[in-house]
């Protein structure tokens, strides 16, 4: 579904990614683990098109997406839930969700109901400003907003960051539900053990290079990964 | 006594309506892009001047008005594309200076394309004052107030009800997130510049039969509009309207009762006074937020 080849990118003159190759097949959950500063968020941003790449190629469903504008990638079904939620704070919860469907022709009321069914708390607070929600609720809103865009490939950047354990469990449960709905998921997580447990495959990113890749179970069993990322 | 008060109030509201619209234009661009556009007054000038010259060239008034609005909107988009967008990552102060430069250029072009004379338009419903409780009110003043009210209502509807309006607000709230839901943010910014230019031009057209227009009329209007904005609360559209009307009233009442020599000074003194007491402006938002 998505293939990146030789991706090189960074901020200004500082190169963060040095030739990353990866692919994601339809229906998979693929996890990307790596230390802070390894380039995980940069990779996500380049796939979404909000950050230019220096070299490399991005192919999505057989089409060359390397130079495509971000809004066209959203229309094609690549939707990102960014790190730190990034909800539209002054706007109402419902406006946030409706904006998620900005690139779609019709107003998808059925999808709105589906998101509310998934996160009932958002329905209760639908007229409140998103900035007043708790961190966990904002994360639910950010995921709900992405679902409104009808994603084929959902990029989740650190969805459990800074959340209480009970909320984290809920978020991982939602990720499983999304997979069951047929959405392909590319997940970046600090909480590597929880992420690997729900993933099909994984990549380990170290200082801008893919150090390791393979089935999630194998990665979770790798001695170096266990020591470096799982704290075992 | 009452007649005199009514007279001053009416002219205060008329002038204030123009400040309010300039302030509203500032707010639209500021909210969408974080830029304080000091070329805002030039849109008012363009609206008036283009209409005057088109009418003089024999174009019927309604057509001349549409032409002036279109020219202003195109100039607004051009200002964004040529001056603001290339310096997108510059600091706010640099961007403000760029808009001041843009204003100077527009003023220079207006001086060349048009001339340096004062111009006026005939009132849309004639120039015979109507007597109201002893005060004589120009029918054009009602056009200004009515036109402003309609513009404010339409702009509010645009932001509250249309998806594009919401996309402008979303871009303002969080540009990255707006891009990630598929908003083409550079188009949205162009729309906000065009909208802000168009309403400025409409204000300029409506007020030209009363206050005349001139290639340099934008300078003071930008300052007064900015003062209105600061007075009402930066970023709040209703604050800009309230600030504009109050500023106009202060100016005309002080000119009427005290001295017209210092009317500009009075307006700014009021602004400074309000800011000493309420630094965030009259309707400045203190949105409670959890981090």
Handedness of CA A135, A138, A142, A144 (dihedral sign): positive
Give the whole-angstrom CA distance, residue B45 versus residue A10: 45
Residue A154: closest CA among chain B residues belongs to which residue?
Answer: B180
Q: Where are the alpha helices (DSSP H) in B162-236?
A: 163-173, 175-180, 185-211, 217-232
Half-sphere exposure of A215 (CA within 13 A, CB side): 3
Structural domain spans, chain A? 1-77+153-159+184-232
First-to-last CA distance in chain B?
55
Residue B88 structure tokens: 């997108």
Handedness of CA A95, A101, A106, A112 (dihedral sign): negative
Half-sphere exposure of B266 (CA within 13 A, CB side): 19
Give the whole-angstrom CA distance, residue B247 versus residue B233: 13
Position B287 scores a pLDDT of 43
Q: Do B180 and A87 touch (CB under 8 A)?
A: no
Q: Do B170 and A99 touch (CB under 8 A)?
A: yes
| Cβ neighbour number for residue B62 with a 10 Å cutoff | 9
Residue B164: closest CA among chain A residues belongs to which residue?
Answer: A102
In tens, the pLDDT along A105-162 reads 776 788 999 999 999 999 999 999 999 999 999 999 999 999 999 999 999 999 999 8
Question: Which superfamily, per CATH, for A1-77+153-159+184-232?
Answer: P-loop containing nucleotide triphosphate hydrolases (3.40.50.300)
Among B169, B177, B289, select the one facing A131 at the smallest CB separation.
Answer: B289
Q: Do A91 and B289 touch (CB under 8 A)?
A: no
- Cβ contact A192:A99 at 8 Å: no
> A127: distance to nearest CA of chain B, Å?
13
> A104: distance to nearest CA of chain B, Å?
9
Position B267 scores a pLDDT of 75
Residue B268 structure tokens: 């700014």
Position A147 scores a pLDDT of 95
Tell me which residues of chain B, numbers 146 to 165, contact chain A at a CB-CB cutoff of 8 Å.
163
- Cβ contact B222:B102 at 8 Å: no
Q: Do B177 and A86 touch (CB under 8 A)?
A: yes
Residue indicated by tokens 């965030």 = B280
User: Which of A42-51, A59-68, B6-15, B276-285 shows the lowest per-residue confidence on average (mean pLDDT)?
Assistant: B276-285
Closest CA to B224 of B262, B264, B193, B195: B264
| Cβ neighbour number for residue B125 with a 10 Å cutoff | 13
Q: What is the DSSP letter of B262?
A: G
- Name the stretches of chain B with pLDDT < 70: 285-291
Residue B236 structure tokens: 């709040």
Give the whole-angstrom CA distance, residue B60 versus residue B23: 30
Position B289 scores a pLDDT of 39
- Cβ contact B281:B273 at 8 Å: no
Residue indicated by tokens 């539900």 = A177
The vertex-A105 CA angle with A101 and A109, nearest 5°, equals 55
Give the phi and the psi of residue A35 in degrees, each rounded to 5: -70, 170
> A141: distance to nearest CA of chain B, Å?
12
In tens, the pLDDT along B237-264 reads 888 999 999 999 999 998 889 888 888 8
A71: left (phi over 0), alpha (psi -120 to 50) or beta: alpha
The CA-atom distances, in angstroms, between B13 and each of B9, B148, B151, B236, B271 are: 6, 11, 15, 20, 17
Please write down the HEC assignment for all residues of B73-120: HHHHHHHHHHHHHHHCCCCHHHHHHHHHHHHHHHHHHHHHHCCCCCEC
Residue A45: closest CA among chain B residues belongs to which residue?
Answer: B180
A86–chain B Cβ distance below 8 A for any pair: yes
> A89: distance to nearest CA of chain B, Å?
7
Angle subtended by helix axes A93-100 and A135-148, to nearest 10: 30
| Gyration radius of chain A over CA positions | 17
Q: Do A86 and B176 touch (CB under 8 A)?
A: yes
- Cβ contact B14:B248 at 8 Å: yes
Q: Which residues pair with B130 in a beta bridge?
A: B137
Angle subtended by helix axes B40-56 and B92-113, to nearest 10: 20
Q: How many residues does chain B have?
A: 291
If you write DSSP's letter for every residue of chain A in order, what string do you get? -EEEEEEEEEETTEEEEEEEEEEE-TT-EEEEEE-TTSSHHHHHHHHHTSS--SEEEEEETTEE-TT--HHHHHHHTEEEE-TT----TTSBHHHHHHHHTTTSSS--HHHHHHHHHH-HHHHHTTTSBGGGS-HHHHHHHHHHHHHHT--SEEEEESTTTT--HHHHHHHHHHHHHHHHTT-EEEEE-S-HHHHHHH-SEEEEEETTEEEEEEEHHHHHH-HHHHHHTS--
Give the whole-angstrom CA distance, residue A111 versus residue B99: 43
Residue B174 structure tokens: 């969080």
Q: What is the mean pLDDT of chain A?
A: 92
């Amino acid at each position: 579904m998505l293939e990146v080849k030789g991706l090189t990118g960074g901020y200004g003159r500082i190169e963060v990614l040095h030739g990353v190759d990866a692919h994601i097949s339809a229906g998979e959950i693929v996890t990307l683990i790596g230390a802070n500063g390894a380039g995980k968020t940069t990779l996500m941003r380049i796939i979404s098109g909000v950050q230019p790449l220096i070299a490399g190629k991005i192919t999505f469903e057989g089409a060359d997406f390397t130079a495509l504008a971000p809004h066209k990638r959203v229309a094609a079904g690549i939707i990102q839930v960014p790190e730190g939620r990034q909800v539209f704070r002054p706007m109402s919860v419902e406006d946030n969700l409706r904006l998620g469907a900005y690139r779609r022709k019709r107003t998808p009321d059925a999808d709105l109901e589906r998101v509310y069914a998934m996160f009932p708390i958002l329905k209760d607070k639908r007229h409140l400003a998103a900035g007043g929600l708790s961190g966990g609720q904002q994360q639910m809103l950010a995921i709900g907003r992405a679902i409104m865009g009808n994603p084929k490939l959902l990029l989740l950047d650190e969805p459990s960051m800074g959340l209480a354990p009970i909320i984290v469990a809920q978020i991982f449960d939602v990720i499983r539900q999304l997979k069951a709905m047929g959405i392909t998921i590319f997940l970046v997580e600090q909480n590597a053990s929880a992420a690997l447990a729900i993933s099909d495959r994984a990549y380990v990113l170290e200082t801008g290079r893919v150090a390791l890749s393979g089935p999630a179970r194998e990665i979770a069993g790798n001695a170096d990964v266990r020591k470096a990322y799982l704290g075992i | 006594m009452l007649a005199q008060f009514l007279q001053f109030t009416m002219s205060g509201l008329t002038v204030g309506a123009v400040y309010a619209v300039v302030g509203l234009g500032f707010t639209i661009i500021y909210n969408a892009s974080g830029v304080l556009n000091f070329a805002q007054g030039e849109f008012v000038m363009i609206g008036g001047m283009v209409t005057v010259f088109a009418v003089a060239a024999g174009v019927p008034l309604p057509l001349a008005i549409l032409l002036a609005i279109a020219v202003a909107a195109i100039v607004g988009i051009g200002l964004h594309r040529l001056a603001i967008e290339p310096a997108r990552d510059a600091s706010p102060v640099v961007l403000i200076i760029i808009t001041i430069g843009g204003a100077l250029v527009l003023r220079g072009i207006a001086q060349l394309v048009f001339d340096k004379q004062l111009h006026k338009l005939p009132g849309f419903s004639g120039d015979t004052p109507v007597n109201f409780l002893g005060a004589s009110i120009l029918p054009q003043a009602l056009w200004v107030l009515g036109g402003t009210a309609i513009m404010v209502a339409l702009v509010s509807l645009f932001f509250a009800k249309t998806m594009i309006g919401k996309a402008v607000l979303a871009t303002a709230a969080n540009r990255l997130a707006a891009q990630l839901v598929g908003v083409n943010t550079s188009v949205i910014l162009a729309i906000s510049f065009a909208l802000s230019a168009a309403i400025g031009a409409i204000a300029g057209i409506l007020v030209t039969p009363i206050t005349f227009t001139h290639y340099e009329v934008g300078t003071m209007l930008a300052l007064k509009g900015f003062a209105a904005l600061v007075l009402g609360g930066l970023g709040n559209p209703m604050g800009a309207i309230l600030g504009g009307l109050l500023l106009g009233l202060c100016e005309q009442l002080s000119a009427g009762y005290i001295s017209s020599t210092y009317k500009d000074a009075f307006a700014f003194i009021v602004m400074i006074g309000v800011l000493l007491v309420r630094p965030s402006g009259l309707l400045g938002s203190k949105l409670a937020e959890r981090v």
